[in-house]
Amino acid sequence: MITGHRHIEPAENPPEREAANKIQLASRLDRHLAQAAKLASEYGVSPDAFAAAAWHAYLHASPALAEHIERLQFMASIEELRTAGRLAKA
């Protein structure tokens, strides 16, 4: 006989619970960023390099956002070529 766990559907989170979860997440994020900033400072990483590394890590963790930004940059470069008269409008 095989016994298993009952599948229980998660209940919808009430707004208060969602707010508490967001506060908890923000607190954890703040602690992790503070630790990363402390390490960067101890190793002499410049603030610009730290910010660039943090942004790169965020984009690496969010591929959809990275793709969206790439599309926006591509469209901006196309528009720039059109404005300069180097690319015709279709």
Please check whether residue 8 lies inside any domain of the structure. no
SS3 content of the chain, % helix, strand, coil (to 5): 70, 0, 30
Does the residue 7 lie in any domain?
no
Question: Per-residue pLDDT tens for 3-48?
Answer: 555 666 565 668 899 999 999 999 999 999 999 999 999 999 999 9
pLDDT of 60 > 80? The answer is yes
Do both 21 and 51 map to the same domain? no
Range of the domain at 34: 16-45
* Verdict on whether the full-model pTM lies above 0.85: no
Q: Give the torsion sign (CA, 13, 15, 17, 22).
A: positive
Number of structural domains in the chain:
2
Contacts of 89 (CB under 8 A, 6+ apart): 82
